[in-house]
Chain A
Amino acid sequence: MREKLIYAFSIVAMALIAWDLYRIFMVLPDEANQGAIYRIIYFHVPAAITAMVGFFVAMVMSALYLITRNLKFDSVAAAVTEVGVVFAAVNLVTGSIWARVIWGIWWTWDARLTSMLICWLLYAGYLMLRRATDEPTQRARLSAVLSIFSFVDVIIVWKSIEWWRTQHPAPVLSIRNGGGMAPGMESPLWWNVLAMALVATCLILLRMRQEGIRRELDALRRYAHAL
């Protein structure tokens, strides 16, 4: 069942991405001031939204693990966090390339960029912590606490462009009262959010399958040790 879901999501995601790329490069009009570079927003923002939603799911799964002590919730949290870190990296790198053209600098320590970098470091730390801890229940407990703690920074990232006057542009999406994009330019962005969410779901399902193998391996090792 999971295999079929992975294939189905992959096919739909690839078709959506192909359609989105066609619209982004061939249909959308140019932005008057920025030239071609503004098109990076169609990867930069969907990657951020995918990562943030992933970190939220990881926080919920971590809380569920602490309540139930069921290791399956820990596996989902680990899989979702890892994929979230990848999409957060896409967000940081594409943003930096856009900044080099528009601001003339690769990086600046403003509230949004700094909080996002801290967010990436916190979740990368989560993955390192998991690797460093061998005992499964201790690993699950420590990483669940870190995941819940790290989510505070996700809220700071989300609200930073409202709370502080930053170098980063103010909200442009209509759901955040931005209104900085023409409606015709905003709809492909939401389709790309859907495409990236599907790609992320495929990757999460693959990672969850691996976590299942890892749990089986842990159990077999314990059994082999007892023989």
Chain B
Amino acid sequence: MDDRNFAFMFYGFLAAWVIVLGYVISIAMRESRLRKELDRVRQMIENRQN
């Protein structure tokens, strides 16, 4: 492969992967937070009903 501008090509691909992976991590964190909140509200309703 022609190595002219190879570093910038690497930065470009790296940036693309970092953005997508960052988003995947943010989705995973949000999901865990939502599930915790759902459990908390369910527990609260159960306590109020008893």
Contacts and interface: CB of A to CB of B under 8 A. Distances in A.
A132 to B, nearest CB: 17
A36 B20 contact: no
Interface in A170-227: 199, 203, 206-207, 209-210, 213-214, 216-217, 220-221, 223-224, 227
A23 interface: no
Interface residues of B, number: 30
Nearest to B48: A227
Contacts of B41: 217, 220-221, 224
Contacts, number: 94
Nearest to B37: A217
Secondary structure dominating the interface of A:
helix
Interface in A8-45: 25, 30-31, 34-37, 39-40, 43-44
A83 B27 CA distance: 10
Interface in B13-50: 13, 15-16, 19-20, 23-24, 27, 30-31, 34-35, 37-38, 41-42, 44-45, 48-49
Interface of A: 25, 30-31, 34-37, 39-40, 43-44, 47, 83, 86, 89-90, 93-94, 97-98, 100-101, 199, 203, 206-207, 209-210, 213-214, 216-217, 220-221, 223-224, 227
Given A203-B23, A224-B41, 9 more contacts: A36-B1, A43-B12, A44-B12, A47-B16, A90-B15, A101-B5, A216-B38, A217-B34, A227-B48
Interface of B: 1-6, 8-9, 11-13, 15-16, 19-20, 23-24, 27, 30-31, 34-35, 37-38, 41-42, 44-45, 48-49
